[in-house]
Amino acid sequence: MEREVRTRYAPSPTGYMHIGNLRTALYEYLIARKYGGKFILRIEDTDQERYVEGAVDVIYKTLKMAGITHDEGPDIGGEYGPYIQSERKHIYIEYAKKLVEMGEAYYCFCTKERLAKLKEEQEAAGSDSQKYDRHCLGLSKEEIKRNLENDVPYVIRQKMPDTGTTSFEDAVYGTITVENSQLDDQILIKSDGLPTYNFANVIDDHLMKITHVVRGNEYLSSTPKYNLLYKAFGWEIPTYIHVPLILKASGQKLSKRAGDPSFEDLVSMGYLVEAIINYVVLLGWSPGDNREIFSLKELESIFDINGINKAPAIFDMNKLNWFNGEYIRKLSEDEFHEIAKPYYEGAIKNGSIDLKKVSRLLQPRTEVLTSIPANVDFFDSLPEYDSELYVHKKMKTTKEIALNSLNEALPVLEQITEWNEQNIHDSLFKLIEKLAIKNSQMLWPIRTAITGKAVSPGGAIEIADILGKDETLSRIKIGIEKLKNNG
């Protein structure tokens, strides 16, 4: 009988959730859902120096926003808890001492000063890798007992084999082999009694029956250390899935310090959660065809480990913008209006503006929600603008043509009794036909006059309808005076 697929997302509560964290959680979740297994949330808080108050809440909030639901975890429990590492301290000590008894680990009483001096000496000697010199490996049982009875601070180190090689299979990178002589006797239990990440995750993964482990490929070189622990205990090794780095276009790793956005940052910047999820899953994974748009529900059934790439993934904001635009256009008019409304506040104070009409204008033209205020503020008041805006080679307009078009349009628009988009359209196109000019030579000057911007959502007719008759005519008159004075 095959084992139930069990995956885990095990973040450290050190602040925000960056894009790499989100992708790991997403891949682990999708693997569990694809095979009808369980997805576990485990909080790895053994590094107390980096612990950030409130960070666990950020993890819960992010997973909930993303639609990534866990089956077991600190908040909902499960048969393999507790799911917070600091609450499992006694478990790690027990297993570390078993390793000592088996000869696979040993007590180390070296002081920080001695270790610092050792590092200096190795660096001075030009050593490629600084390794612990096993000073405490040869301590007698009597010395160890005396030190423990006298409460001498200690750590427990893993005893690595110093000859031969260790190999493991990775689902993405294939067979990886390392020389055991390159492995350092890593610390398993720190002097504060808490386990290191490398030790705790092996113990927890085994006890929680984790079958698949997803992590960044920077951990490839550490994996033999984990496998030696599994081997020492006689435990079954999980399937490793190392995923490629996520880089910026410059080739640098994404970094919060460098101003790269976290998941919450992207949401606050106006990106839809569904678009972010869709884009992030494709950072290092391909479905095997040209399709790019997937809902989370669809991904649960089609995600395949074989689609994970080895090559680094490039995080491209322009591509994310495209995804976001696609998702915005898939919304109903009412859905878009609801999410757009907060962005109108402050930008459009004029209560006479029909915001639903503004939403209809914006939806097919919006990629990022935070661009909305700057795109609609002209509805509230006409900005200052230069008469050079009327000049447009492609539209074949000059200031002279623009002035003439505005002068011709003003009385025609004044005669409209029922102000709506259809009547504005019919009146202007009759005038265009009468003057025998290009559409753009009439519509570009009017759009410029009523928006005061080089770029605006929608054209002259749609915008005039929203502004209303009085405001439209007032702005056209301002445009005529501006052209007269600056022509």
Provide the pairing of β-strand 165-170 with 174-179.
antiparallel
- Which pair of tokens denotes residue 284? 């290092």
Answer yes or no: 256 catalytic: yes
> If DSSP codes are grouped into helix, strand and coil, which group holds residue 18?
coil
The radius of gyration computed from the CA coordinates of the chain, to the nearest angstrom, equals: 32
DSSP string, 301-358: HH--GGGB-SSPEE--HHHHHHHHHHHHHHS-HHHHHHHHHHHHTTT---TTS-HHHH
- Cα angle: 268, vertex 272, 276; to 5 degrees: 95
- Cα angle: 47, vertex 196, 156; to 5 degrees: 130
Give the closest residue to 11 by CA, choosing from 83, 57, 59.
Answer: 59
- Alpha-carbon distance 201 to 210, whole Å? 10
Residue 19 has φ and ψ, to the nearest 5°, of -60, -35
Residue 67 CA: distances (Å) to CA of 3, 31, 173? 26, 15, 29
- Alpha-carbon distance 87 to 170, whole Å? 31
Helix orientation angle between 355-362 and 460-467, rounded to the nearest 10 degrees: 160
- Cα angle: 191, vertex 197, 203; to 5 degrees: 100
DSSP string, 433-471: HHHT--HHHHHHHHHHHHH-SSS-SS-HHHHHHHH-HHH
Helix orientation angle between 19-34 and 273-281, rounded to the nearest 10 degrees: 80
- Alpha-carbon distance 50 to 70, whole Å? 25
- Which pair of tokens denotes residue 104? 């696979």
Give the closest residue to 184 by CA, choosing from 170, 204, 203, 198.
Answer: 198
- Alpha-carbon distance 142 to 148, whole Å? 10
Do residues 372 and 471 make contact, with C-beta atoms less than 8 angstroms apart? no
Do residues 49 and 17 make contact, with C-beta atoms less than 8 angstroms apart? no
Find the catalytic residue in 256, 310, 349, 396: 256
Q: How many Cβ atoms are within 10 Å of 424's Cβ, its own excluded?
A: 22
Strands of the sheet containing 174-179, edge to edge, are: 38-41, 6-9, 212-216, 239-243, 165-170, 174-179
Burial class (CB in 10 A: 0-12, 13-18, 19+), 9: buried
Active site residues: 256
